[in-house]
Amino acid sequence: QVQLQESGPGLVKPSQTLSLTCTVSGDSITSGSYYWTWIRQPAGKSLEWIGRMYTSGSTTYNHNLKSRVTISVDKSKNQFSLKWNSVTAADTAVYFCVRAVGGGGIFHDWGQGTVVVVSS
């Protein structure tokens, strides 16, 4: 059974770059037809889809966030990552990594999430 675990700094200063990593265990990140996805949840708000990377390496991003976000994969470590430029307080949230299926729109397996606070 696949497991996903997010890691990263709990605190980031405004205008800096947020970097998060998702370590995948129980399956190879290069196998199957999966979409390796990031979703976030600001405090008191609902879930927001950030973007995804397909097994082939192609990426798709939330068009409302597109220019600030990059998703990449490290096959040797079975990890995928999220980089978010120029963060603001509005980016304070719980960030989840997810394995998606069904064209990328069914969020099948989730990590527990990691809290990121943007503050000086």
Partner 1 sequence: DIQMTQSPSSLSASVGDTVAITCRASQNINTYLNWYQHKPGQAPKFLIYAASNLQTGVPSRFSGSGSGTDFTLTISNLQPEDSATYYCQENYDTLFFTFGGGTKVEIK
| Interface residues toward partner 1, by CB under 8 A | 4, 46-49, 60, 62-64, 96, 102-113
Structure tokens at 58: 């192609």
Closest CB to partner 1 among residues 47, 69: 47
CB of residue 87 to partner 1, shortest distance in Å: 22
Taking the complex as a whole, how short is the minimal distance between the CB of residue 79 and partner 1, in angstroms? 17
Q: Given the complex with partner 1, which of 14 and 102 has the nearer CB atom?
A: 102
Please count the other Cβ atoms lying within 10 Å of the Cβ belonging to residue 65.
15
Cβ-based nearer residue to partner 1, 19 or 62: 62
- Alpha carbons 83 and 4: distance in angstroms, whole number: 18
Q: Which of 96, 85, 115, 82 is nearest to 40 (CA)?
A: 96
Cβ of residue 88: shortest distance to partner 1, in angstroms? 21
How far is CA 36 from each of CA 69, 82, 101, rounded to the nearest angstrom? 14, 11, 9
